[in-house]
Structure 1
Amino acid sequence: MKTLLSSLLSAVILASPLRAANAPKPAPAPAAKADNPAAPAQAKDGFKSDDERAIYALGYQIGRNVGPFGFTTAELKILETGLRDSALSKPAAIDVGLFAPRINELLDKRMAAAVAPEKAAGKAFAEKFAHEDGVRPIPNGGWYKTLQEGGGAAPAAEDTVKVHYRGTLRDGTEFDSSYSRNEPATFPLKGVIPCWTNGVAQMKVGGKAKLVCPSDVAYGDAGRRPMIKGGATLIFEVELLEIVKLEAPKAADKPAKK
């Protein structure tokens, strides 16, 4: 099984918007002129070249991938020392092979410590919501409240739907919104989190609803970094616009008989 240590840099590379090897290279951008208003703004970031900015981007991505460890400032200095020694091909200060297996153990311990209070806060939030007028449980987990009755058909779990939605954390922080993109989202109900699959199936076309989704029917203990912590309870306002009827694939033409 691939360990976190061996997958870390792979995750960094995969997360980077790399160009395909056989794709044509873009034409070089013209040099910024002195009167180019973008040039002074770019210089304010403290970097002297795009190579330096790319290196910073690499470091930032590595930091995002180790974020779930919740390192302290002192621990980050230790991590920095390890990165530097390895990058400069210096001898390791310890037997890395001996301690590498403990990396995943450390991650599990840190994540469990962070997830427990998040789950507790989410449970309290959901229980309070559950006592509001008109709230009912969603099959298999979560809570549902009708904001506007719909007059159309109700989707089945196997259907594809078109919706507008807004997703927030318990404190109201928005992490996703089709309204912000000015474009509805279309997806199969079986391809989303269980709270959505079962919650949207309670709606009718033209209706609006509020879903409160505990982590066990959302993104679990892993969350979706950086916005959604492990164990987070999520809140969605959903507007069901349409049940999308997908065209069946056309049968291939049979060869004419001779």
Structure 2
Amino acid sequence: MIPRPLVAVLALALGSFVAAASFAADGPPKTDEEKTLYFLGTLAARNLAPFALSADELAVVQRGMRDALAGNAMDLDGQTYGPRIRELMQSRASAAAAVEKQASQAFLDAEARKPGVRRLESGVLVDELRAGTGDQPTVSDTVVVHYHGTLRDGSVFDSSVERGQPFRTPLAGVVKCWQDGVTTMRVGGKSRLLCPSDVAYGDAGAPPAIKGGAALVFEVELLEIVK
């Protein structure tokens, strides 16, 4: 069976092709309808991203969409090719995750050699930037923190600092990297936590921002343990 979210988005994208044909292909979308269709295109792209399509493969996908709209699509068995879509997506995603994991491991190994960085049993790297003087949390605690999350290339994927709003969370409800790393801190302290993918978002990642197999870096300031 074809994944439902993928079917829904591509079906909408197919339906929009005819309407979009009347719009100018060049230049940014101007009207609300053009912007809606443009956004639909970005949703379709996100659904196609796990396939890591080459330019030639993308052209085949576009041909299938055009042929379906024209009513002359090839008669292919959905029971056969539906499951193959999922298989293709999984194999491409696994291959991409393996490449990312290898690059991430090299990054983590280099970081681990820096002065002051210690590796926990789980593989999490902790670089204490400022020692705290308050209480030390346990995994069963709820904490208030400021954090700044980046990928190994330094690009930001999430940041309470940029939002200007501290983040409150039970440690039992976050990734293991945080559970292991934040519990080494004391209130008032600030640490840089470097997370292997297997204690973060794993091979699945958190698309589109976080690739499968990606190492993550969090600069965390522990503000409070909620009593």
User: What code does the residue aligned with 1:6 have?
Assistant: R
1:121 matched residue in structure 2: 103
Work out which of the residue numbers 109, 115, 122 in structure 1 matches 2:91. 109
CA contact (8 A) 1:169 1:175 kept: yes
1:6 matched residue in structure 2: 4
1:55 matched residue in structure 2: 37
Q: Which moved more, 1:213-222 or 1:122-131?
A: 122-131
Between the two structures, name the one with larger relative contact order (CA 8 Å, sep ≥ 6).
2
Work out which of the residue numbers 147, 165, 170 in structure 2 matches 1:165. 147
Work out which of the residue numbers 153, 178, 199 in structure 1 matches 2:160. 178
Give unmatched runs, 5+ long, in structure 2.
Answer: 12-25
1:145 matched residue in structure 2: 127
Q: What is the CA–CA distance in structure 1 between the aligned matches of 2:36 and 2:70, rounded to whole Å?
A: 19
Structure 1 vs Structure 2 CA RMSD? 2.2
Structure number, greater radius of gyration:
1
1:40 matched residue in structure 2: none
CA contact (8 A) 1:139 1:198 kept: no
Q: TM-score, normalising length from structure 1?
A: 0.75
- The residue correspondences of 1:201-220 to structure 2 (distance < 5 A) are 201-220=183-202
SS in 2 for 1:210: strand
Q: What is the CA–CA distance in structure 2 between the aligned matches of 1:12 and 1:84, rounded to whole Å?
A: 12
CA contact (8 A) 1:138 1:195 kept: no
Work out which of the residue numbers 110, 115, 120 in structure 2 matches 1:133. 115
Q: Is the alpha carbon distance of 1:182 and 1:116 closer, same or farther for their aligned partners in structure 2, counting shifts above 3 Å?
A: same
Q: Find out whether 1:95 has 2:77 as its counterpart.
A: yes
Q: TM-score, normalising length from structure 2?
A: 0.85
Q: What is the CA–CA distance in structure 2 between the aligned matches of 1:234 and 1:177, rounded to whole Å?
A: 13
Counting aligned pairs with the same residue, the percent is: 47
Deviations 1:50-100 (A, max 9, x none): 223212211210111110110111111211222334455544343333222
Offset, 1:162: 0.7
Deviations 1:171-212 (A, max 9, x none): 111111111111111111111111011110111000011111
SS in 2 for 1:163: strand
CA contact (8 A) 1:163 1:184 kept: yes
Q: Find out whether 1:191 has 2:173 as its counterpart.
A: yes
Q: What is the CA–CA distance in structure 1 between the aligned matches of 2:195 and 2:79, rounded to whole Å?
A: 41
CA contact (8 A) 2:29 2:38 kept: no
SS in 2 for 1:101: helix
- The residue correspondences of 1:246-257 to structure 2 (distance < 5 A) are none
CA contact (8 A) 1:9 1:62 kept: no
Q: Which moved more, 1:203-212 or 1:119-128?
A: 119-128
Q: Which moved more, 1:206-215 or 1:122-131?
A: 122-131
Work out which of the residue numbers 4, 27, 49 in structure 2 matches 1:67. 49
